[in-house]
């Protein structure tokens, strides 16, 4: 019996087809990867299978999970399968974690309630799991203190606590550095080795290659290619699949570093920060010039985002000082957040949020339409709530929101980690072009050295080391772009 069988799955919104007549079969112990760009309907498929589509979307088709059959639109019929028969590794770790419960408590409760582990043993099981994940110190941590990679590993533990034989992994590696990405792939492979089935939704070609099995390539809600992973990814027949493979960051050309002149926008002197008893950096001196591009790259949890937050004044350093140029106004430093869902008001439509910004700062509304067109965002997107659109679409809209303010410096914290390869390149090029045309400096956080190289300019590597670099005004491991 198939672990999952879907016939003619469709998702529509106000007459618009978002997913068009998708059929698939997933056998026990097999992997199936749905590959495609942000906004192509991939995550809607996972939501339809789980029965958690937003209320304003209309679904059709039939589904069978193991021996349990139901209509796609009857999500309530599959609710009893959650955790024990059908598990979801969600796209946004923070949306799946209870912000009022410490990590270890949530995991222990899941083992008890879903995995049927006796309450007296659930706490010990939670500690053992966190130890195996390399997160022993996260047992008493609050979810908001976790890095993206840490949060994803915790949510993986929660998703597998019930022993479900079928796992839906929705963008399981986005925002993760290469070692953590490989670690997550190994965990999904372990599910397969135990006889489980994994349906993975991703824009990361390397994940599809590593998991093997079968691949479906999706574009605008329609299947453009499907077949064995090794065949599709080595000898693609569809033009879009070939474009996707050609857009990997290692193939991007490096941009020419900008010429910087005048007084620095920011001066950091002797900056130090500890977190959880770990010294992230100390004695850091850095000048950030007008129109400069500087990349901060390294593994998750190494202090990249913290360093950028200190530069913007969002966090205080343990020691040292940060000074901004006197002519920079209160909105002159802007951050593009790693998790866009947390940066939009949850109960206001995206149109309302963007109109609030335009009114507050007396901005020309036509510029929003221009940015949305360049970022390949449809106008209908604005009528939805933040949680009703894909993470990639929301990140591109967050970028448009930042660009509307024409800041002197943009701190972009993993701005393309939620995007497919084609959208990654287009979005990063738009970010660089807009920064250049407006004279804004760009401080980019990334875990991908290929993206750091393509940005041009200086590279600041993390974890931080106390080494004197060649560049004047910088103490730390700076490489020339």
**CATH code at position 265:** 3.40.50.300
Last residue of a domain, one of 223, 247, 271: 247
Q: What is the pLDDT of residue 474?
A: 42
Higher pLDDT, 414 or 48: 48
Higher pLDDT, 208 or 469: 208
Q: What is the pLDDT of residue 227?
A: 96
- Same structural domain for residues 317 and 374? yes
| Domain count along the chain | 2
Last residue of a domain, one of 192, 220, 247: 247
Q: Indicate if the pLDDT at residue 13 is higher than 90.
A: no
| Percent of the chain whose predicted confidence (pLDDT) is above 70 | 96
- Same structural domain for residues 184 and 329? no
- Same structural domain for residues 164 and 88? yes
Contact yes or no for 462/302 (Cβ under 8 A): yes
Q: What is the pLDDT of residue 473?
A: 38
Q: Indicate if the pLDDT at residue 468 is higher than 80.
A: no
Residues 6 or more apart from 278 whose CB is under 8 A from it?
Answer: none
pLDDT tens digits along 337-367: 877 888 899 999 999 999 999 999 999 999 9
DSSP-derived secondary structure letter, 468: B
Residues 6 or more apart from 133 whose CB is under 8 A from it?
Answer: 153, 154, 156, 157
- Same structural domain for residues 46 and 189? yes
Does 254 reside within a domain? Answer: no
Q: What is the CA radius of gyration of the chain?
A: 23
- Same structural domain for residues 265 and 242? no
- Same structural domain for residues 25 and 75? yes
pLDDT tens digits along 362-399: 999 999 999 898 888 888 899 999 988 877 788 889 98
**Rounded-to-integer distance, Cα 400 and Cα 52, Å:** 28
Average pLDDT value over all residues in the chain: 88
Q: What is the pLDDT of residue 298?
A: 84
- Same structural domain for residues 121 and 80? yes
**Rounded-to-integer distance, Cα 111 and Cα 118, Å:** 8
Select, from the ranges 74-88, 139-153, 245-259, 428-442, the one with the highest average predicted confidence (pLDDT).
74-88
Does 252 reside within a domain? Answer: no
- Same structural domain for residues 276 and 213? no
- Same structural domain for residues 152 and 204? yes
pLDDT band at 477 (very low <50, low <70, confident <90, very high): very low
- Same structural domain for residues 91 and 130? yes
Higher pLDDT, 172 or 420: 172
pLDDT tens digits along 66-87: 989 999 999 999 999 999 999 9
Q: Indicate if the pLDDT at residue 405 is higher than 60.
A: yes
Does 235 reside within a domain? Answer: yes
Does 253 reside within a domain? Answer: no
Does 127 reside within a domain? Answer: yes
Residue 344: domain span? 260-479
pTM, 2 dp: 0.73
Does 66 reside within a domain? Answer: yes
Mean predicted confidence (pLDDT) in 138-156: 87
Q: What is the pLDDT of residue 122?
A: 94
Q: What is the pLDDT of residue 466?
A: 52
Does 255 reside within a domain? Answer: no
Pick from 423, 43, 365: nearest CA to 218: 43
- Same structural domain for residues 137 and 231? yes
Q: What is the pLDDT of residue 144?
A: 87
- Same structural domain for residues 328 and 451? yes
Does 43 reside within a domain? Answer: yes
Q: Indicate if the pLDDT at residue 476 is higher than 60.
A: no
Last residue of a domain, one of 221, 247, 273: 247
Pick from 273, 279, 410: nearest CA to 335: 410
Select, from the ranges 92-96, 140-144, 427-431, the one with the highest average predicted confidence (pLDDT).
140-144
Q: What is the pLDDT of residue 465?
A: 65
């Amino acid at each position: 019996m198939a672990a999952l069988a879907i016939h003619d799955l469709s998702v529509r919104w106000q007459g618009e087809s978002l997913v068009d007549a998708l059929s698939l079969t997933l056998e026990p112990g097999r992997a199936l990867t749905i590959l495609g760009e942000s906004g192509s309907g991939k995550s809607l498929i996972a939501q339809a299978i789980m029965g958690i589509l937003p209320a304003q979307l209309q679904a059709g088709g039939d589904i069978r999970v193991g021996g349990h059959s139901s209509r796609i639109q009857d999500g309530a019929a599959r609710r009893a399968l959650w955790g024990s028969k059908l598990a979801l590794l969600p796209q946004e770790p923070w949306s799946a974690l209870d912000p009022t419960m410490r990590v270890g408590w949530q995991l222990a409760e899941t083992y008890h309630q879903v995995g049927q582990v006796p309450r007296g043993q659930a706490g010990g099981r939670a500690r053992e799991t966190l130890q195996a994940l390399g997160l022993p110190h996260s047992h008493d941590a609050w979810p908001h203190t976790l890095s993206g990679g840490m949060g994803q590993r915790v949510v993986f533990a929660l998703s597998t606590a019930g022993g479900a034989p079928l796992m839906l992994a929705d963008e399981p590696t986005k925002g993760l550095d290469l070692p953590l990405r490989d670690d997550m792939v190994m965990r999904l492979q372990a599910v397969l080795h135990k006889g489980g089935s994994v349906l993975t939704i991703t824009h990361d070609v390397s994940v599809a290659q590593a998991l093997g099995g079968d691949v479906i390539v999706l574009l605008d809600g329609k299947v453009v290619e499907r077949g064995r992973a090794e065949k599709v990814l080595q000898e693609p027949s569809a033009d879009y699949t070939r474009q996707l493979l050609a857009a990997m960051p290692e193939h991007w050309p490096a941009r020419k570093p900008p010429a910087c002149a005048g007084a620095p926008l920011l001066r950091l002197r002797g900056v130090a920060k500890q977190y959880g008893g770990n010294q992230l950096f100390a004695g850091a001196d850095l000048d950030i010039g007008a129109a400069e591009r500087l990349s901060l790259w390294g593994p998750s949890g190494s202090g990249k985002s913290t360093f950028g937050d200190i530069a913007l004044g969002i966090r205080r350093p343990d020691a040292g000082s940060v000074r901004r140029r006197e002519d920079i106004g209160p909105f002159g430093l802007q951050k593009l957040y790693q998790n866009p869902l947390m940066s939009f008001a949850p109960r206001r439509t995206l149109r309302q949020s963007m109109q609030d910004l335009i009114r507050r700062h007396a901005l020309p509304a036509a510029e929003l339409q221009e940015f949305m067109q360049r970022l390949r965002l449809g106008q209908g997107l604005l009528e939805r709530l933040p949680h009703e659109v894909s993470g990639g679409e929301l990140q591109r809209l967050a970028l448009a929101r930042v660009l509307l303010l024409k800041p002197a410096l943009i701190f972009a914290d993993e701005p393309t980690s939620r995007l497919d390869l084609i959208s990654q390149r287009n979005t990063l090029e738009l970010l660089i072009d807009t920064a250049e045309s407006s004279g804004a400096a760009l401080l980019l956080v990334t875990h991908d050295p290929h993206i750091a190289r393509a940005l041009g300019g200086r590279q600041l590597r993390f974890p931080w080391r106390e080494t004197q670099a060649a560049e004047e005004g910088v103490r730390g491991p700076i490489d020339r772009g």
